[in-house]
Amino acid sequence: MNSIKIAIVEDHDIFREGLILVLNQIDQFEMVFGTSNGDLFIDYIHHSIPDIVLMDINMPIIDGIETTKKALKLSPDLKIIALTMFSDVLHYSQMILAGAKGFVTKNASKYELQQAITEVYNGGNYFSKEILQKISFQIIHKPFFQDYLTIREQDVLNLVCRGLTSQEIAEQLFISLKTVEVHRTNIFGKAKVRNTAELIIWAIKTIFLQ
């Protein structure tokens, strides 16, 4: 397996250096660039494109949201994972709209970082459990979902966004697995998405835009 080339854009030097140290311990990862400044990262990708970018959101000069937008204009296939301490869904939504493929909280374990990077590198999306829980809370309280989905569909969407499998959802809601799958199919149809990752992105965008 080729090594996954990773760049880190994070303005806290101690955290960035610690993250580099942790990720360098993983055999298939190769740290190729680290900076505290979004502008310097934009300069970097003019001549070299990493496989994965770990992007802080709150940075001086140019924040992670604007850096992500600029970077993806230069390299549309760039895969960016947001690093965040924020609990505000607004920031998740803005990063998704900018083009981020996932979110990892800054207190994530080495294993979770590895999982997130590998998943996004392979073409998927990744959202930490803390962020999924925050999104699920918004789904319960957002009027749009109440108007757009049935009560049971809201229940299923909420649990999907919390990371539960169809079997776990069936057990929690005391319904059959087949019924869960029918609700999932209906939700996917209403949201015009093909899979769970797209559904979560749709939910985040909906929370922000509606």
Domain stop point among 127, 160, 193: 127
Q: What is residue 101's predicted lDDT score, i.e. its pLDDT? A: 92
Query: Based on C-alpha coordinates, what's the Rg of the chain?
Result: 18
Domain stop point among 127, 149, 168: 127
Residues 116 and 187 in one domain: no
DSSP characters over 33-53: EEES-HHHHHHHTTT---SEE
Residues 47 and 101 in one domain: yes
Residues 19 and 117 in one domain: yes
Residues 108 and 153 in one domain: no
Domain stop point among 65, 95, 127: 127
How many domains does the chain contain in total? 2
Amino acid, single-letter form, for residue 170: A
Tell me if 8 sits within 8 A of 16, measured CB to CB.
yes
Residues 118 and 166 in one domain: no
Mean pLDDT of 132-155: 79
Residues 36 and 113 in one domain: yes
Residues 30 and 100 in one domain: yes
Residue span of the structural domain in which 159 resides? 132-209
Q: What is residue 89's predicted lDDT score, i.e. its pLDDT? A: 64
Residues 169 and 89 in one domain: no
Q: What is residue 204's predicted lDDT score, i.e. its pLDDT? A: 77
pLDDT single digits (tens) 180-206: 999 999 999 999 988 888 888 888 777
pTM: 0.81
pLDDT single digits (tens) 18-42: 999 999 999 999 999 999 999 999 9
Q: What is residue 87's predicted lDDT score, i.e. its pLDDT? A: 59
